Structures are given as C-alpha cells and as structure tokens.
Structure 1
Amino acid sequence: MLSARTCLNAKSQLGVFKLTLKASSIVSASTSSATLRIVVMPSISNLQQYNNYSTSPKPAPKLTLDDVNENILKAKYAVRGRIPMRAEELKAQLKKDPASLPFKKIINANIGNPQQLDQKPLTFYREVLSLLQHPELLDEADETLLSLYKIDSIQRARKLLEEVGGSVGAYSQSQGVQGIRETVASFITKRDDGEIAYPEDIFLTAGASAAVSYILSMLCKGPSTGVLIPIPQYPLYTASLALNNSKPLPYYLREEENWSTDPEEIEEVVQDAIKKGVKPTCLVVINPGNPTGAILSVNAIESIFEIAAKYGIVVIADEVYQENIFKGSKFNSMKKVLRNLQKVHHGKFDNVQLASLHSISKGVSGECGQRGGYMELVGFSHEIRQVFLKLASISLCPVVTGQALVDLMVSPPKPGDASYEQDQQQRNHIHEALEERATKLFETFSRLEGIECRKPQGAMYLYPKLDLPFKAIQEASHKEMEPDEFYCSELLEHTGICTVPGSGFGQVPGTYHLRTTFLPPGTEWVDAWEKFHREFYDRYRD
C-alpha cells in the first residue's frame, strides 16, 4: 500500500527521473527493466497547478536590433538627425524651465516647414478645406454661407465634393481623383507653353516623397542597381536607396559655378559604375536645388538629357520648389526642355523617360502636414504605368484632402474671382518676405570671417561653406563629430538655432557646409547667429 505521499524512483534505459505523487492520484503502476509506466488521475488541484505552470513559461526575448531589417538600420536622414533631436530635448527643457538656457526658444532652421515658422496658410485654401471637411455647411441658406465664405470658395468646394464622390473621408481612385488629375494636366500644359500633359500620366501622391518611394521601389533591384544623385543632395534619396538595398552614384555639383552640373563628371560616374557591374538606372535632379537654392540653366538640363538618352537612364526631376523663385531668376521645367529637344533632334530623345515631381509642401502653399503632391510620367510605356498603378493601389489612395489641395495649388483664384485680390496679396507677401529674409541672411554671411555663400536664386535654403579653424576641427575630432556637425551643435547650444551639417547632404571631401532655411521671421535670430560666429572663431582661432 502506498503511503499518503510517495516518492517513486525508477531507472530505465531512458534515464533517471523522480515523481512525487499523492496516493489518491494513483490508479495503477507497473515497472520493467526498460520502462516505468504510471497512469495518473490527477486531482482538481493538481490540474490547476499544471495549467498555471504550462501557461506561464519563461517569457520569450524581445526584439533586438539583430531582428530588424538591416537596410532600415543603414538608412540615414540628417534633416531629422542628431542635432534636430537635441533641439527637441532643449525645447522640452525650456518648457520646464524657461530660464535654464542662454536663449528663449528653438529656431527650427533645419527643415523647410513654412507654417511652423510664421507662414500663414492661404485663406482660399482654408475656406475650401473647411467646407470639404464639413459639407453640411453648404446646405445653409445662401446669405448665411456668403457671410462666412467667398462665393468662389463655395463653388470650388461643391465641385471638388462632386469629384471625390461626396466625402473626403472616402477612398478615391488609387491614381488620384480623375477631375483633379485633369486640373493638374491643364496646369502643366499652361506652364510649359502648350506642351500637352495627359491625366493618365498624372499620379497624385502623398507628397513628393511618396512618388520617390514609388519610383525607387520599382526600379531598384538590389546592389547591382545604381542611382545617380547630386551632391549635395536631399537625404531622402540616399535613405530610400538604403531601404531598397541599391547603390547611390554621387555626382558633384560645382559650387564655384553656382552649384551647376558637370556633364563630363556625370558621364564618368556612369561609365565607372558600368565597369563595376552596376547598372545606372535613374538620375536625380533637384531643381531648384535643395540644399543649394540654385537653379539649373537650360544648357545644364539639356546635357543631362544627352546622358539619359545615351545610356537609357530614367530622369527623376524633383521640382517641388518651382514656385520659390527670386527676382532675376527663371525656372525651366525639365519636361519643357525635353520637349524642345525632341522637336529639334528628331528621334534622338524619343525614348527618354522622365518622372517630374511637385508638392503642396513648398511654394506659397507650405502645406507640409497635409501630404499632397503629384508625379507626371513622361515617355513611359503603358506597361510601366500599370506597375506604378499597382504600387499606388497597394497604398489604396493618397490623402484625399491632400489631393484637393493639389487642385487648389495648380488652379488658384483667377482675375475676377471673389478671392483673387486677397489671394494675390497673400501670395505676394509670402514671396516678398522670403526673399527679404534670404537677402538678410546672405548679406550677414557675406561679411563674416570663414563663411562663403552663393546668392540664393530660389527654394528655401542657404548652403554656406565653412572655413573652420584647425583648433575647431581638432575639437570636433575629440568629440567624435564631423567638423561641420560640431559647428552646428555649438550654434544650437549657444543660440537655439537648429541647422543641418553639410555632412548630412554630402560634400566634396575636405570641405564643410551647413544648410539653413531662411523661413524664420525677424532679424534677432540672424543677429544672434552673427554674434555666436564671431565668438566661435575667436575661441578657436589658429
């Protein structure tokens, strides 16, 4: 008879094990030289203990960086990199203790975010948007509605609501609303002096960044794919190439020639890539330039198409700053230049493929947070357009309010419309304010020791060259920073001005730059920068 609590020890060919059981649980047991067999009828308490044990094992480990897609870890985006992250920390510190730092606020000159930095939204945009978001207002009596909104805002809202199917909360077609694409095509045709654009070639996107993602994800097939990018460049391109595990092929812009291109160097980059087994698939052109603020001449654009035609390279024209043009400068769209080449040189440029990008984030719109833009495909086959449509379909559709803003951007109030005069006043004010701020900052840099800056022609940025003292370069090395990053870090810590080091955009080895917007209002921050710069050079003077 088993005791109330029995330990059974058994030895078999399978090993040694020990069981402790309650006598009341055992129904039968038998042993042999090879096996020990026990049939157990567990009590309720035993079953509960077993269930508790089986459902609470040692937790599986959390994700580590080893589990993350290595292409994401490789991607870098300096515009929101280490210095902007430090700026956010300082902003939080100021909120808790306003007197804890030698400045009162952070000046975010690191990113082209107009409405964060004083640029007011256009009234016409906001009137139409509010009616789209709350269409019940359109049911109000005419006299009530007209006391709140101008008649052309009301008419545009009704037209857009009809085109989107009655609500901006519903999905649209993946390529974008047909009526809005027709409006974009009309805008491009007018801009390019009658060179016809077709709605089926237009893809509405969630900003120009989404269009870049479409193009690169479609054409990048791995490390054997190369994409030519201008240096300095907008970091979106190198980051996107890292995500797609493809190779950036940098070509340097000529600073001494106001950041123009060098066609001979570009062709050398192409030929060198081919020799190394890398296929140059795309060539990126940012015009007007980011971060340089320069505008390419027609001759420079033509030379790019010469190379594209010769090697079968797709041209990506990032033209999101086409509305930010200063007096005395002229923007020529790449499509217009291509069409003129095709007329003069019959057949030579017929197979050139061009993807042109535009956005509501820049210009006088400044609607960065609304995420709207478009891409025009020029020279692509129907089959390739269908692949773009597949990519767009995976994302369902672009933001519908962003699409509506694209419509407003490319078709603003016209002379005779109720909103026209106010809209023109607001647009002129934005243009004049930006050019005035750019001039002020440029003139300040021009009189400072150790800074060389090209006069801006457009966009939202200056990209000055820094001739840093050797002691400053040594100090940067001690802090494990690039020299221009060290300068930008010190500028932030002493003045609250947040900029982006040139090392985040790429630059000729041995040179140092930074990018700053001229969006912030007023002159106090410029004066603070000038004071800091003089003190910095005195501190580290050789």
Structure 2
Amino acid sequence: MSQSLLLRNSSSLWKRTIQKSAYISSYINKTNTNMSPSILINYPVYNLKSFHTGPVSGSLNSQLAKKVKTKYNFEPAEPLAIEDLNEHVLNAKYAVRGSIPMRAEELKIQLQKDPKSLPFDKIINANIGNPQQLKQKPLTFYRQVLSLVQYPDLLKSLEKSGPNKEYNLDAIKRARRLLNAIGGSVGAYSNSQGVYEIRETVADFITKRDEGEPAYPEDIFLTAGASAAVNYLLSTLSRGDKTGVLIPIPQYPLYTATLALNNTHALPYYLEEKTGWSTNMVDIEKVVNKAIADGVKPSVLVVINPGNPTGAVLSRESIAKIFEIASRHGIVVIADEVYQENIFGDGEFVSMKKVLRELQHDHPGQFDDVQLASLHSTSKGVSGECGQRGGYMELTGFRPEIRQVLLKLASISLCPVVTGQVLIDLMVSPPQPGDESYQQDQLERSAIHSELGKRAQLLYETFNSLEGVDCQKPEGAMYLFPNIEMPFKAVQKAHHLEMTPDEFYCKSLLEATGICTVPGSGFGQVTGTYHLRTTFLAPGEQWIKDWAKFHKEFFDQYRD
C-alpha cells in the first residue's frame, strides 16, 4: 500500500481522475463494506494538480507522483517472421513496381543528396503509365469542376458574382449539378455502387459510344480505378485452386498478382508477336481443354484491349471468336478497355459489348447467356488522372443475384472515392459544342493526343533502328514492348548475377541513363525471348537519344 493511494468516499474526484489520465488503472477494493467502494489507483508520475478541482493535500500529491514498479515474469514472444504471413500474399508479384523501379527510387534519393554523383540528373519513370508524373497537363475543365466541388463556398460565391476568367459558366453549373447529386459534400460516403446520377451519365456515354446499344445505371459500378473492379471480379469469380482464369501473355501483372492472392490458377494464352500481338483462337481453345482435363474449371477469360503492354488493338473478328469460346464453355469475359481513348494511326477501337450485342442480334440463342464485365478508368486516355482513382465497370448478362454479391463486396469498402466519381462524370461527359469550355477543352485534348502519337512513332522508329531490336507498331495504349535479341555474353552475365537477361538490360539502362523500364519477364513472354515495356509519355527526345546511345554501348560491350 505504500506505493498506492487509497481514495475513499470521493466518487466525483474518481470520475474526473479516470477521465483525465490515460495512465490510471483501477479496480474496486471491496474489503471495506462500511464505506463506498474504494478505488485503488496505480498512478505513474503524474501531477494531480493538473486536473484536480478540489483541495488536495501535499502528501496526497506526492503520493500520486510515485511510480509503481511492476514485475513481470514471462518470456516475450518474437516478432512476426516471413513464414508467419499469408503465403498467397508472398507469392503475389507486381513487376511494374518491382526491383527495377525500387532501384530507381534509390537512385532518385541519391540524386537528391548529391546531384552530381550519377551520369544523369533525373529519373525518367517510363515504367508506368502515369501521365501527370511525366508532366502531362491536367485538363482545365476537370480541375475547375474539382476545385469547386472541393470548396463549395467558392462555388456559392461564383454563383452570386457570375463566371470569371478562372471559371467558366459551364464549370460552375456542372459543379453544382454534381454536388446536388452527391448530396452536398464530396467528403461524405456515397452509395457503395456509386452516385446514381453519375452512373446515369456513364450509361448515356456507353449508349452513344456503342451506337445506340442501351446501357443501364443499375448495371454500372463506379470503382476506385479499374484495379478495384478487377479485384472485385476475380475475388468473386475465383474458387481457389479448382478454378482458372485465362490471361493474355504478355499481360498486365495486376491479373497474376490478384490470382495469386486468391489462390487461383492463371491459364496463360500467348499473343502472336509476329502478327501484331494478335489472338490465336486455336491456342485459347487448347488452353481451355487442357485445364478441363486437369480438373480445373476455366471461369474467366481476360481481354486487354487496347493491349497492355503490347499496344495492339483487337479486330471485330477476333472479339467475336473470343465470345464464341466464352459462350461454348460458359466463361465470363473481363474486357479491360481502359485505353480505349488511346488510339493511334490505323487502329480502331470497338467495344466488346458492342460486338456481343451484334452477335446476339445476328445469332439468336447462341450468345444470349454470355457474361461480360467491361472496365474503364480516368487514369488513361487524355485524362491521365491516375492519383484520383476514378473507374467503372459495366456488367452485361449477369444474373441479379451475382450482381448483389459484387455489390456486397463493394460495400465492404463503403464507397469508391467520391472525387474519382466526379472525374468519371467529367470523362464520359466533357464540354459539348456551345459550352463555354468546349473550345479550350478540345484544344487541350487534341494537343495531348497528338503529342502522344508523335512520341510513340519516334520511339517505335528508334527501336527498329537499333541492333537486335524488333518492335511491333503501336495502335493504342501508351506502351511499346520491343523484343531484344540479347548477346550471349549478356545472357551469361545476367545468369552470373542471378538475374533474367531482360532484367539485367533494364537495370543497366537505368544505371547508365536514369530511364526506368519494366523487364518483359514481369509480363510473361515466350521462353527464350526477351522484352521490356516502356511508356512513351516522357516529353522531349533527348531521353530517346540517350537510350539509343546506351544500347549501342551495351551491345558493343557484350557482343559475341
């Protein structure tokens, strides 16, 4: 008792003490039945004067200041080790932010500390489709509306004073419409499926894009980027190691990573490089049949169109054949169409939903039960709003009970980012002729698209001028995926360093020039071939010249 204070008949002081000290531990001493319950308080180094409201004796205060020393008699456990973690998480890989980008971050920090310590003065992040990181200017209309929904008082002020040189009238009206639809504040949760009025706008966009084939807001889920939609779909449609998902090779690593998390088989089907990364239906059929023979049910077929990392665009005929396989085997199709605005040269984007509806019209009964999930995003196109996390998926042919399961999964995350939903509205419904922002918006969009097309062509031509490099012409997306015929000595060196040859090339490129790319092995490739993925988002031509210089020196160094 010498180290504790016995407080009797002081319930009010007890309450204040409990409220104001996070360190007080108490229990009821029931040994004294003649008085109110006694509170035995162990009070570590705290001054009662800071919170008491009545007179307290000096001896009481000094007693409270004494620290009680507790003796513990147990063996402490060790912290978590790798083997204690979820093995499926450990097995997941995401090359886009893998070893090469991690090395790039190390070099970036080194440059910040000592700008002259490396043979280059900056890192060029060509490893990821992140346009605004590489100085793509945000669309003005987007940012006007975003700033107004984020700051409603400014919106009210402009509604009173009228438009000015910073804010056009159509931006003010759009911000008000969106705030009313959202419920007054982008800081509040929305419906888990997304704001209904924004889903209506998305449905209108899809209907117009597909030349009158109707879309409905009930079938549309707004998501935190298309990646969230992929997670919802694959988490729902995967049933462990008894199911498989067909993915194109090369593929976007999000798919293999998500499948690893769900302990589901990846069933690769290879795209044909020599024919512009086309889809071989005979090979897909073989993959399906082999999986069935092995006791694995093919549940999903992923199509990335335009292609990532290939930049290829699927023809109507190829899409129709994919649906033939899906209908025959009852396979759900995921159409990753986030690059549908990024079309260059002779490429032509046709949505998979439009082709499906045409097949259903022309062949009654054959394709009526096909299930399709179509994805889009604000991260790509001319929007480039990667960090804002706006996306959507449209479900076609799914039973209502399946849609409810997906809604349940979406509800666990409460709602998609509300400002991301705002951006979806702006992406699918940009300023129209006659609107105050229309002319400027069109100029900005045209400039971005034109510049990306020029960079793609320049990089494509440069690659095909280099020794040992063969690159397919890009039709869409924002990447090139060149094939590099590695010198034998470079392959040997890579193996000596316990690296893949394409990883060795990418690491050497990074450390010589500051250009960060992704090895083709992270996307999948035919055994014995070596590729890398690069964006063509970085401005200027000097980095392309630096790459060409490096490549020549690399081949000279490791020439057979």
Common fold, TM-score beyond 0.5? yes
User: How many angstroms apart in 2 are the aligned matches of 1:204 and 1:383?
Assistant: 19
Of the structure 1 ranges 145-154 and 523-532, higher mean CA displacement relative to structure 2 is found in: 145-154
Q: Aligned to 1:229, what secondary structure does the other structure show?
A: strand
Could you give the per-residue CA deviations for residues 61-111 of structure 1, whole angstroms, max 9, x where no partner exists? 111111110000000000000000000000000000000001111000000
C-alpha deviation, 1:145, in angstroms: 4.5
**1:467 aligned residue:** 485
For 1:61, give the aligned amino acid: E
**1:39 aligned residue:** none
**1:445 aligned residue:** 463
**1:74 aligned residue:** 91
1:318 aligns with 2:336: yes
C-alpha deviation, 1:58, in angstroms: 3.9
1:361 aligns with 2:383: no
1:403 aligns with 2:421: yes
Could you give the per-residue CA deviations for residues 482-526 of structure 1, whole angstroms, max 9, x where no partner exists? 011100010001000000000000001111000000000000100
What are the residue-to-residue correspondences of 1:3-18 with 2, within 5 Å? Answer: none
User: How many angstroms apart in 1 are the aligned matches of 2:364 and 2:517?
Assistant: 47
User: How many angstroms apart in 1 are the aligned matches of 2:147 and 2:466?
Assistant: 47
Q: Aligned to 1:535, what secondary structure does the other structure show?
A: helix
What are the residue-to-residue correspondences of 1:174-193 with 2, within 5 Å? Answer: 174-193=192-211
C-alpha deviation, 1:273, in angstroms: 0.3
Q: 1:97 aligns with which of 95, 114, 129?
A: 114
Cα pair 1:137 1:145 within 8 Å, conserved: no
TM-aligned CA distance change 1:536 to 1:201, over 3 Å: same
C-alpha deviation, 1:50, in angstroms: 10
Q: Aligned to 1:533, what secondary structure does the other structure show?
A: helix
Could you give the per-residue CA deviations for residues 339-378 of structure 1, whole angstroms, max 9, x where no partner exists? 0001111100000000000000000000000001000000
For 1:504, give the aligned amino acid: G
For 2:134, give the aligned amino acid: L
Structure 1 segments of 4+ aligned residues over 4 angstroms from their partners: 48-51
**1:456 aligned residue:** 474
User: How many angstroms apart in 1 are the aligned matches of 2:224 and 2:297?
Assistant: 29
C-alpha deviation, 1:392, in angstroms: 0.8
1:287 aligns with 2:305: yes
TM-score of the pair, normalised by structure 1: 0.90
**2:143 aligned residue:** 126
1:201 aligns with 2:219: yes
For 1:218, give the aligned amino acid: T
**2:100 aligned residue:** 83
**2:48 aligned residue:** none
User: How many angstroms apart in 1 are the aligned matches of 2:67 and 2:414?
Assistant: 50
User: How many angstroms apart in 1 are the aligned matches of 2:166 and 2:277?
Assistant: 48
Q: Which runs of 5+ in 2 are unaligned?
A: 1-65
User: How many angstroms apart in 2 are the aligned matches of 1:76 and 1:426?
Assistant: 37
Q: 2:543 aligns with which of 521, 525, 528?
A: 525
**1:373 aligned residue:** 391
Q: Aligned to 2:531, what secondary structure does the other structure show?
A: strand
Q: 1:214 aligns with which of 217, 232, 239?
A: 232
TM-score of the pair, normalised by structure 2: 0.87
Q: Aligned to 1:512, what secondary structure does the other structure show?
A: coil
Q: 2:324 aligns with which of 306, 319, 324?
A: 306
**1:160 aligned residue:** 178
**1:342 aligned residue:** 360
User: How many angstroms apart in 2 are the aligned matches of 1:474 and 1:60?
Assistant: 45
User: How many angstroms apart in 1 are the aligned matches of 2:179 and 2:332?
Assistant: 36
User: How many angstroms apart in 2 are the aligned matches of 1:51 and 1:114?
Assistant: 59
**1:535 aligned residue:** 553
User: How many angstroms apart in 2 are the aligned matches of 1:256 and 1:225?
Assistant: 31
**2:128 aligned residue:** 111
User: How many angstroms apart in 2 are the aligned matches of 1:144 and 1:229?
Assistant: 52
Q: Aligned to 1:230, what secondary structure does the other structure show?
A: strand
User: How many angstroms apart in 1 are the aligned matches of 2:521 and 2:222?
Assistant: 33
What are the residue-to-residue correspondences of 1:381-400 with 2, within 5 Å? Answer: 381-400=399-418
**2:278 aligned residue:** 260
Could you give the per-residue CA deviations for residues 127-169 of structure 1, whole angstroms, max 9, x where no partner exists? 0000000011122154364343100000000000000000000
User: How many angstroms apart in 2 are the aligned matches of 1:230 and 1:344?
Assistant: 28
C-alpha deviation, 1:328, in angstroms: 2.0
For 2:412, give the aligned amino acid: I
Aligned residues between the structures: 494
User: How many angstroms apart in 2 are the aligned matches of 1:125 and 1:539?
Assistant: 49
1:487 aligns with 2:505: yes
What are the residue-to-residue correspondences of 1:485-524 with 2, within 5 Å? Answer: 485-524=503-542
Cα pair 2:251 2:308 within 8 Å, conserved: yes
Q: 2:169 aligns with which of 144, 151, 163?
A: 151
Cα pair 2:149 2:155 within 8 Å, conserved: no
Q: Aligned to 2:521, what secondary structure does the other structure show?
A: helix
User: How many angstroms apart in 1 are the aligned matches of 2:156 and 2:69?
Assistant: 63
**2:260 aligned residue:** 242
Give RMSD over aligned pairs.
1.2
**1:18 aligned residue:** none
User: How many angstroms apart in 1 are the aligned matches of 2:116 and 2:266?
Assistant: 45
Cα pair 2:162 2:169 within 8 Å, conserved: no
For 2:416, give the aligned amino acid: P
1:172 aligns with 2:172: no
For 1:254, give the aligned amino acid: E
Q: Aligned to 1:148, what secondary structure does the other structure show?
A: coil
Q: Aligned to 2:442, what secondary structure does the other structure show?
A: helix
User: How many angstroms apart in 2 are the aligned matches of 1:203 and 1:490?
Assistant: 43
C-alpha deviation, 1:329, in angstroms: 1.4
User: How many angstroms apart in 1 are the aligned matches of 2:329 and 2:555?
Assistant: 48
Q: Aligned to 2:115, what secondary structure does the other structure show?
A: coil
For 1:97, give the aligned amino acid: D
**1:45 aligned residue:** none
Could you give the per-residue CA deviations for residues 213-263 of structure 1, whole angstroms, max 9, x where no partner exists? 000000111011100000000000000000000000000000011001000
Cα pair 1:290 1:459 within 8 Å, conserved: yes
Q: Aligned to 1:492, what secondary structure does the other structure show?
A: helix
